[in-house]
Structure 1
Amino acid sequence: MKVYILDAEGATLDKMLLWLFDNSMVKVIAVFEKPDEFLEGIKKEPPDLVFVRLGNDEIPWLKTVRIMVALNQNIRVVFISDEPDYVLDACEIGSYGYLLCPVTKDKFDKLLYMLSR
């Protein structure tokens, strides 16, 4: 499984990267901090799954994910947030999951397993 992450540096990102590197189902991991680079990566080599951090004012996540879905509807999207305020928006886009911080390894692994099937 090829996984992309759109997120700035932080503790949650660091934990997720460790968990992804330890997961045998994951073959490729790429992290993007800038939406334009994220979208370019999707155009060049589409992933199977993306994790997008919500609530960062520097990342126009809603617009970015809508563009991504227009480019490729087969990519699964999971949102990560410190707040539940974005759940409705995430559902309207068609997300495959919403992880509320702090993200636990158990929840993360269950979600990955479910999405790999």
Structure 2
Amino acid sequence: MKVLIVDDEPLARARLQRLLAHYPDYQHVVQASNGDSALQQIKQYAPDIVFIDVDMPAMSGLEVAVQLNKLPIPPAIIFVTAHPEHALEALQLSAAGYLLKPVTEQNLAKTIEQLGRLTRAHVQKQRPVTISFQLGGVTRSVALEDVCYVMAEDKYTRLISTSGEALIDQSLKQLEQAYPTQLLRIHRKILVNQSRLVALKRAEDGSHVVVIKDCSCLLPVSRRAYKTVKEQL
């Protein structure tokens, strides 16, 4: 599972990452030192679990959690703090766990045990995400997990899924903002479903393309998006 540690104290971040190293399922760890950086990391990295300090300057962990809960598929949130009085607020924000500083091996083990299967995949199963569109005057929808990619075409956006194609009114920008952890921009005119990314290849002309699961075509990757796409794979 992918983990994000958010804390304005470098030593606290390092300690928690060191403790997480004992758990084989928690090896993909990135860090953020403040709320703004955390939101950027979440958009780019799409973590399954976020360990976040409550007391941070500018934007608190509670404020970040409010933003995360607006996502179609929020990560599991575990608050880390030296102040137990924040526990009630954490519960109101549907926190998956609550760790008191200094974090000990025993407390972390207990929290991870309680966390169980509460991962991004579990939340997605509970709350299926769909994209709605008009077709022949009738509102239809397609499960986001079935979407292969969306491409800008003139005034419309073409959505390609495992069940076919459709022209939708939402722009790429609107879709990118609505599903920041599911749809990845690989080109100024193309967003792909991150969960369907299979491979990144070099074409004969030196450019790069991606292979998408259940999609026969190869999609171009811009030089600007190349690094981000490579990191996702």
**What band does the TM-score fall into relative to the shorter chain?**
0.7 to 0.9
SS at match of 2:70: helix
Unaligned runs of 5+ in 1: none
Question: Do 1:43 and 1:71's aligned partners in 2 also have CA atoms closer than 8 Å?
Answer: no
d(CA) in 1 for partners of 2:30 and 2:116?
17
Structure 2 segments unaligned to the other structure (5+ residues): 118-233
CA distance in 1, matches of 2:69, 2:7: 18
* 1:85 Cα offset (Å): 1.6
Q: Could you tell me which amino acid in structure 2 is paired with residue 48 of structure 1?
A: D
Q: Distance in 2 between matches of 1:19 and 1:66?
A: 27
What SS is found at the alignment partner of 1:25? helix
Matched letter for residue 43 of structure 1: K
Aligned pair count reads 117
RCO (CA 8 Å, sep 6+): is it higher in 1 or 2? 1
Higher-helix-fraction structure: 1
- Letter paired with 2:76: R
CA distance in 1, matches of 2:81, 2:57: 12
- In 2, are the aligned partners of 1:25 and 1:116 still within 8 Å (CA)? no
Pairing of 1:43-62 with structure 2 (within 5 A): 43-62=43-62
Aligned to 2:95: 95
Amino-acid identity (%): 26
Runs of 4+ in structure 1 displaced over 4 angstroms?
none
TM-score relative to the length of structure 1? 0.86
| Partner deviation per Cα, 1:82-105 (whole Å, 9 max, x = no partner) | 111211110110001111122210
Within 5 Å, give how 1:2-81 maps onto structure 2. 2-81=2-81
* Residue pair 1:3, 1:28 contacting (<8 A) in 2 also: yes
Assess if the C-alpha contact under 8 Å between 2:3 and 2:50 holds in 1: yes
Residues of 2 paired with 1:38 and 1:84: CA distance? Answer: 22
Give 1:26 deviation, angstroms.
1.0
| 1:55-99 alpha-carbon deviations (Å, 9 max, x no partner) | 233432222111112124441111011111211110110001111
What is the CA-CA distance between 1:10 and the residue it aligns to? 4.6
In structure 2, how many angstroms separate the alpha carbons of the residues matched to 1:98 and 1:114?
Answer: 10
2:115 match: secondary structure: helix
More strand by share: 2
CA RMSD of aligned residues (A): 1.8
Q: d(CA) in 2 for partners of 1:49 and 1:97?
A: 10
**Code of the aligned partner of 1:12:** A
CA contact (8 A) 1:3 1:47 kept: yes
Amino acid at match of 2:25: M
What SS does structure 2 have at the residue aligned with 1:59? coil
Q: Which residue of 2 aligns with 1:112?
A: 112
* Aligned equivalents of 2:29, 2:54: Cα separation in 1: 19
Residue 2 of structure 1 contacts residue 48 of structure 1 at CA under 8 Å; is this kept in 2? Answer: yes
